[in-house]
Amino acid sequence: MLLLVLNAKAQFEKRTNPALYTQPVMKAIAYGITAPNAHNTQMWFVDTLSATEMLLYVNHCLPETDPPARQQIISAGCFIELVAVGMSNEGYETKVEYLPYGDYAVEKNKLGVKPVAKITLLKNAGIKKEDLFSFIDQRQSNRRPFEGEMITDGEFDEIKKLIGPTHSEMIFINHSEKMKPYLDIFYKAMEIESRNVATNEETRKNFRFSEAEREQKKDGLSLPQSGVDGFILKMAEKSYKDGDSAIWQSDKMIKATMKNIGESVYSAKGLIFFKTSTNTKLDWLETGRDFVRYNLAIVKLGLATSHYNQVIQEYSEMKDLQKEFDTFTNTKNEEKIQVIVRIGRAKPAYKSWRRNAEDFIMK
C-alpha cells in the first residue's frame, strides 16, 4: 500500500477537502467519494498502487435490494467520473481501464474479488478544467416535494448539452398525463419494498436515527435526507426509538413513510430514464458516469433531483411490477433501464456525510 501524506486532516462541510492532500491519488479519492451511491453505503474501496494509480473495488453490501450489485457498480461509475471531473482542476487527465483483471461473479456481502476499474492519473499541462467542476460540492439528492412549473423541453436540452455525449439513452417525460402511470408504479414499488421484511430491514440497518449517529458513522440514510426538518424531525426521530426493528416494521410506521413518499413521488415535474441496450457491468459503470454528470448539470441550472429505482431492482417480489414497467417503457430483450429520476425545483436539502478519504484505502 502507498504511504499516505497529508498537509492536514479535517472535514470540509461533512466531506474531505481534496486540498488537504499532496498526493494526486488521495485528491482523486476525496473527489470520488462525494459521488451519489446506493443507500449512501459508500461501498467503494481502493488499492493505491502509486501516487497516481489505484484499483477501485466495490463491496456488495445490499444483497436484499440489489442482489447483482448493479446499483452499487453504477455508484462506482459515479465515483470514477467525479475523479475525472475533479482532477481536471488539478491538471490531471484520468485514464480508466474497466475490469482490468476480467469480469467476476458477485458474491453477497463480500468485497469484489476483482477490481471494477484501474484509474491512472496523467499530468497534463494542457488539460482544461471541466465546466461542471464548480458544482461537485453542491451536488446532492433532494427528496423534498418539488414545487413550481414542469421541467421544459428546453431545460432538458440544456441538461443534455451540459452533460455531453452519453453511453445511456436519456428518456424524458414532462407531461402530467403521461407521467401518472409511472408515478403510480414508483409508489407501488416503494410499498412492495417497504412491506417486504428483508428489504425493509436492510434499509433500517442503513438508516441513521440522530445527527450524532450520522456524524459518528458518516454514512447511511436518514430523515433529513428525505427533506424532514425542524420540530417534525425531532418528533419523528424520537418515534423510531433508535431504530427498534418492531417499530420500523410496524404497519403504522410503514403507512407514515408511504405518506411522505407519496408527497414526493407525485410532486415530480419531470422524469428521466437512463436506458442501455445491454445490461453488463460495463453498462453499469458507464451509466454511473452519465448519471453523475447529470447531477452536476442540474445543480448548474438550479434544479433538484432524486431517484426512484425500486421497480428496476432484481429481487423476486418486484418481478411482476417490473414487467408492467418494462411494458410501459418498451424495454425489451437485453435492454435495461438503469436509473430512474424525478426532476423539479426545491429548496436545498440536507447534505449527507461522507467518511474520510483514508477510510476507503484497503488495508
Convert 155-190 to b/e letters by CB count within 10 Å (16 or more is b): bbebbbebbeebbbebebbbeeeebeebbebbbbbb
Q: Along the 363 residues of the chain, how does pLDDT read in single tens digits?
A: 444 443 333 345 688 899 999 999 999 999 999 999 999 999 999 999 999 999 999 999 999 999 999 999 999 999 999 999 999 999 999 999 999 999 999 888 888 889 999 999 999 989 999 999 999 999 999 999 999 999 999 999 999 999 999 999 999 999 999 999 999 999 999 999 999 999 999 999 999 999 999 999 999 999 999 889 899 999 999 999 999 999 999 999 999 999 999 999 999 999 999 999 999 999 999 999 999 999 999 999 999 999 999 999 999 999 999 999 999 999 999 999 999 999 999 999 899 999 999 999 998
Give the DSSP H or E segment for 94: strand 92-98
Work out the number of other CB atoms within 10 angstroms of the CB of residue 301. Answer: 14
pLDDT single digits (tens) 191-229: 999 999 999 999 999 999 999 999 999 999 999 998 898
Q: Please give the share of the chain, as a percent, with pLDDT higher than 70.
A: 96
**Start-to-end CA span in the chain (Å):** 8
Please, which residues bridge with residue 276 across strands? 336
CA angle 135, 136, 138 (to 5 degrees): 65
For domain 153-207+243-344, the question of CATH label 3.20.20.330 is answered with no
Domain locations in the chain as residue ranges: 11-138, 153-207+243-344
For residue 65, what are the CA distances in angstroms to 135, 164, 196, 291? 30, 31, 10, 20
Residues in the chain: 363
Are 11-138 and 153-207+243-344 the same fold in CATH?
A: yes
Please give the pLDDT value at position 111: 85
Say what the pTM is: 0.95
- The CATH class given to the 11-138 domain equals alpha beta
Please give the pLDDT value at position 10: 38
Convert 268-277 to b/e letters by CB count within 10 Å (16 or more is b): bbbbbbbbbe
Interatomic CA distance for residues 315 and 74, integer angstroms: 17
pLDDT single digits (tens) 283-333: 999 999 999 999 999 999 999 999 999 999 999 999 999 999 999 999 999
Please give the pLDDT value at position 12: 55
Interatomic CA distance for residues 294 and 225, integer angstroms: 19
For residue 253, what are the CA distances in angstroms to 97, 107, 130, 257? 45, 32, 44, 6
